[in-house]
Amino acid sequence: MLLVSAPILGVPEKTALSKVIDSGWLTMGEQVKAFEEAFANMHGAQDCVAVSSCTAALHLILHALGIGPGDEVLVPSMTFVATANAVLYVGATPVFVDIESADVPLMSIVEAEARCTARTKAVILVHFAGYLANREEWQKFARARGLQIIEDAAHAPGLKEVGTFGAAAAFSFYGNKNMTTAEGGAVIARDPKLLETIRQARGHGMTTGTHQRLNSRTPQYDVTMLGFNYRMDEMRAAIGLVQLQNLQEWNEIRRILVMLYRRLIAKHCPAVTVPFH
């Protein structure tokens, strides 16, 4: 059996963890801030919000966009259950859309058009296995129908085009992904107001975090919206900062391995077809 991806962890991650433990500050501090800045820079974004998982990221995006009961959201039929679960969390209805083909397991724009109704408010595009959906086609599709585009980029950290399709993109740092923080995720959104709403909702709707209050002259906070406990801790952010340094190299190695697999499978198992060929 071939593993999807075994995590690559070593001495640098152990050292980073030790520094966090020695600091005594374990959550929502300088490591999280630094990770958010580094991850945003890698994707050509101004900022991002680190969260506890990609599922949390999707939930926060849908919540911040005001999608809820009575609304429908298009999701690909070939995806992890979290994509649909996040839609259910906000009380909306996931509408499953078939993929283009076995060779291109991305949501079919033709099928999506057939599944649209007056209640459709958004489409979640899954960049399956790191292969991006067609940005121009989906943007045209969404504009014509007044839909929000949300990117499920769980498989696509490190690709600069991600986060430019529409409202926001959700990333995963689970243990089998391109890079890992064990559990974790992030949101990139080009609209600063949307991203700030997501940032506040991440921490129970509080206007400031503990680290901010400690380093300011106004140690109080208000709760001004419904929020969730979706924060990333300092340990995971510290691991993420180390992993980010290697992500582009690891992605390139994976591309080389994919080409090797394709060549060997075509030679020795010609009856087997591989998607995205």
Model confidence band, residue 1 (pLDDT cutoffs 50, 70, 90)? low
Catalytic residue among 121, 140, 177, 267: 177
Cβ of 70: how many Cβ atoms within 10 Å? 10
For the four alpha carbons of 266, 269, 271 and 277, in that order, the dihedral sign comes to negative
> Domain for residue 156, yes or no?
yes
Tens digit of pLDDT for each residue in 212-250? 656 666 677 898 899 999 999 999 999 999 999 999 999
> Domain for residue 268, yes or no?
no
What is the b/e burial string over 204-218, where b = at least 16 CB atoms within 10 angstroms of the residue's CB? Answer: bbbebbebbeeeeee
Given a cut of 80, whether residue 5 has pLDDT beyond it is no
> Domain for residue 17, yes or no?
yes
Q: 15 lies in which domain range?
A: 11-246
The CATH number given to whatever domain includes residue 186 is 3.40.640.10
Helix, strand, or coil here: 93?
Answer: strand
Structure tokens at 255: 């591309």
Choice between 215 and 183, residue whose per-residue pLDDT is larger: 183
> Domain for residue 184, yes or no?
yes
> Domain for residue 4, yes or no?
no
Q: Give the model's pLDDT for residue 151.
A: 98
CA 15 to chain centre: 26
Count how many domains the chain has. 1
> Domain for residue 266, yes or no?
no
For the question of residue 160 being annotated catalytic, the response is no
> Domain for residue 121, yes or no?
yes
> Domain for residue 252, yes or no?
no
Q: Give the model's pLDDT for residue 207.
A: 81
Given a cut of 70, whether residue 120 has pLDDT beyond it is yes
Range 250-277 average pLDDT: 92
| Burial status of residue 162 (CB atoms within 10 A of its CB: 0-12, 13-18, 19 or more) | buried
Model confidence band, residue 196 (pLDDT cutoffs 50, 70, 90)? very high
Model confidence band, residue 49 (pLDDT cutoffs 50, 70, 90)? very high
